Amino acid sequence: MSVFRRPTFSSVKYVDARPHYPTSLVDRILKYHGSNNPRQSLIDIGCGPGNAALAFAGKFNKIVGVDPSEKMIEQASELSSKYPSMSFQVSLAEDLRAFPDAAFDMAVAGQSAHWFNNTAALSEIACGWRSA
C-alpha cells in the first residue's frame, strides 16, 4: 500500500471520494451472520479511513480497525471519535498477533482484500475467529 504512505497522499480527499456502504449491505451481512451468533466484537481489516467499521457502528460492542497506513488510521480515529467502542491501529492483515486468538465474532475487509497476501492474511484471520 505504498501509495497511502506517500507525502502527497491525502486521507481526507480519499474519504471524500470513497463510496460509503449502504445500510442494506450491512443488514444483509448481519442476517447472514445470524441472530444466534454473538455480536461482541468485529475487526475491520484494511480499514482505511474506517468506512466499513463506521457502517457497523452500534451493531457490535467493540469494533477494531487495522490498516498499514498511519494516515488512514489517524483519519479513521478522527471520524469515529464519537464511538468510544471503536479503536484503530496500524497493522497488516498478515500480522494480527496483537490480538488474542478467538478475539472476534466477525471480520470484514471492505474493498481491501486485493492488497493482502491472501494465504497469510486468511491464516491470521482464522486464528482471531471466535466460534459460537
**How do residues 13-35 score in pLDDT, each as one tens digit?**
766 667 788 899 999 999 988 87
Residue 120 has pLDDT above 90, yes or no: no
Reported confidence tier of residue 131, pLDDT bands at 50, 70, 90: low
User: CA-CA distance, 75 to 59, in Å (whole number)?
Assistant: 21
Please name the residue ranges forming H helices in the chain.
11-17, 23-33, 51-55, 70-79, 118-128
Question: What are the sequence ranges of the domains in the chain?
Answer: 22-128
CB 48 within 8 A of CB 18: yes
Closest CA to 103 of 57, 17, 56, 38: 38
CATH of 22-128, one of 3.20.20.10, 3.40.50.150, 3.40.1160.10, 1.10.10.410: 3.40.50.150
* pLDDT, tens only, 44-100: 999 999 999 999 999 999 999 999 999 999 999 999 999 999 999 999 988 888 888
> At 111, is the pLDDT very low, low, confident or very high (cuts 50, 70, 90)?
confident
- If you search the block for the grid coordinates 479513521, which residue do you land on? 76
Residue 129 pLDDT: 61
